[in-house]
Amino acid sequence: MDQADTLRHFFARQESRNHLERCIEEVRDSIRDGNFTLLNYQLNELEKAQLDFESFEE
């Protein structure tokens, strides 16, 4: 892996982590506000974001 590939990987991983954190915050907000209509969708998005983030750990 050259330096450019390493940087691309680093930034992709960081973006994946940011997306995961946004999903977690959205789920927390929905639970706190009692907005359960979107919760199922948000939990599915959270699961996808978690799997995407974990793919960078391998």
pLDDT in tens, the chain (58 residues): 689 998 999 999 999 999 999 999 999 999 999 999 999 999 999 999 999 999 987 6
Quick one: how many helices (H) and strands (E) in the chain? 2, 0
Give the position of tokens 């919760």: 39
**What integer pLDDT is reported at residue 56 of this predicted model?**
86
**What integer pLDDT is reported at residue 58 of this predicted model?**
60
Residue type at position 21: E
